[in-house]
Amino acid sequence: MKKLFVLSGILLIGGLVIAKAFLGNKKTYVTSDIPRFWEAVDSLKNASNRTDSIRIIQTLYLDRMSNEGRKFIDIREYTAAEYVRTLNKYPQYFKALRIKTNQIAAYQNLLDSTFKKLKTAIPDYETPTVCFAIGCFRGGGTTKKGTILMGSEIALADSTMDYSEFKGNLRVTLSAGVDLVELVAHESIHCQQHNAKNRTLLSIALQEGAANFLPAMILHHQVDLSKDQYAVAHECELWQEFKKEADSVNLDKWFFNTSTIKNRPPDLGYFMGMRICEAFYQKQTDKTKAINMLLDRSKYLEVMEQSGYNGTCPVK
């Protein structure tokens, strides 16, 4: 029988630290799905066939998830069969990931500090709940009603891990390492955004761009473009292409295309949106009002117009 200890707001189950910080009755971190995942993985050794493996993942992980973890599964539409395929495909990576997940508590002071800085700068900022679960490489983070749902298999990736089992853009993205604080800060901005959820390319670009720009500006005081070398080098031509498609609802060329895009980096819509948001913010004298507009999804056309952004193209 596993022993449970409670010490200064920290819950320890079988030696795994599950930190809980409370604002009233609100949990800041939910990590209980992590040990359930590894319990299911360890139990796979008892499976005699694929059907058994699927049953084990279903009963020991998916059926026992936290309320927040269930939201993560529902949004991503993960199934037990997909987990079995993923575990069989990347066994060495999951061994390394296990070590990383045991270190989640060490990140929480950094995340607490990040939330504090964002709260100071952003009007009515509400600290989100952060749920760490493990998925099947179809997204590092998403949000649902004030909760950040982290796919830890992506969110905890760093450059020291073995990526020999991966191919293509997924290998490039993971092997470069993921900045967990940056990713959580990005998703926390989505928790603050509100109003109309228009699905055109421009509106999505500004929604995602604001979630990149605001943390970069607040936490670092300037936007670091060192990770966007291709986009910076091709900014004018990308803008010419982007503005022709701004009203389109087809996002395939600009977003969520890590596994499909060819001949250029994936997800360049994030860069375009961030640059428009940056241009808009720099032109505003009332910075608080500017932040509020960037968080209001219904203002995307006004943000675009007031930004004056032209992709750094030469003025004719």
The pLDDT tens digits of the residues spanning 28-39 come to 999 999 999 999
Compute the distance between CA of residue 139 and CA of residue 255 in angstroms, rounded to an integer: 12
Say what the pLDDT of residue 35 is.
97
Alpha-carbon gap, residue 67 to 145, rounded angstroms = 13
pLDDT tens-digit series, residues 200-222: 999 999 999 999 999 999 998 77
Separation CA 179–CA 130 (nearest Å): 15
Tokens read off for 63: 């059926």
How would you label 194-206 residue by residue, b for 16+ Cβ within 10 Å and e otherwise? eeeeeebbbbbbb
Phi then psi dihedrals of residue 170, to 5 deg: -65, -40
- Position 26 scores a pLDDT of 55
Segments in the chain below pLDDT 70:
1-26, 316
pTM for the full predicted model: 0.86
